[in-house]
Amino acid sequence: MLHRRISMMRSDGYIHKSFKFGKDFTIGKFCVIEDDVIVGDNVDIGHYVLLKKGTRIGNNTSIDSYVRSSGENSIGNNCTIRYGATIAKDVIIRDNVFISPNVMTIFSDPKGKHGKPTFIGSNVFIGTAAVINSGVVIRDYVIIGAMSYVNMDCKTMGGTYVGQPAKYLGKI
């Protein structure tokens, strides 16, 4: 991965001087990119995006406008994260994942304490406005339905999970 260094502070956003990015990188207006963020090749970042310290984004990934990364997380190759999604701290997203608009991952437990890392496997589809609780593991090839609340592991590879709380419906 070819990394370049830039130093930029503009009236329409802020990009930390340590930010590294690869070839064919594009970024929209009013973005904030903090210290220690690394973005791969062929990455497109929309407007009003927040990437906090320690965010890693792989190659060929698209981040829509108003997406927020709380930092210390990893987004794989060939991923799409749609409008308004929030990726909490300590989330690992593998390759070929599609995250629909307004999806939220959570880093704290119900008592407000710091949560556990969350893992989203490869080839996963997460529907609009789904909520993924702290510490959840989602296996490869899983589908999460729109507006589902995932508060337990999605253990069945290729399974479909829907509802509040999300329940296993079967394999795709």
Q: What is the pLDDT of residues 133-151, one digit of tens each?
A: 999 999 999 999 999 999 9
112: Cβ–Cβ under 8 A, 6 or more apart, which residues? Answer: none
Using CA atoms, how far apart are residues 44 and 28, in angstroms rounded to an integer?
8
127: Cβ–Cβ under 8 A, 6 or more apart, which residues? Answer: 100, 103, 143, 144, 145, 146, 147, 148
Give the model confidence (pLDDT) of 52-79 as tens digits: 999 999 999 999 999 999 999 999 999 9
CB 91 within 8 A of CB 118: yes
Structure tokens belonging to residue 172: 């795709």
Tell whether the model's pLDDT for residue 2 goes beyond 50. no
Domain residue ranges in the chain: 1-73, 88-172
Mean pLDDT of the region 31-53 = 97
pLDDT of residue 90: 95
Tell whether the model's pLDDT for residue 89 goes beyond 50. yes
Using CA atoms, how far apart are residues 93 and 136, in angstroms rounded to an integer?
12
Which of 1.10.760.10, 2.160.10.10, 3.30.260.10, 2.30.40.10 is the CATH number of 88-172?
A: 2.160.10.10
Tell whether the model's pLDDT for residue 4 goes beyond 80. no
Element (H, E) at 168: strand 167-171
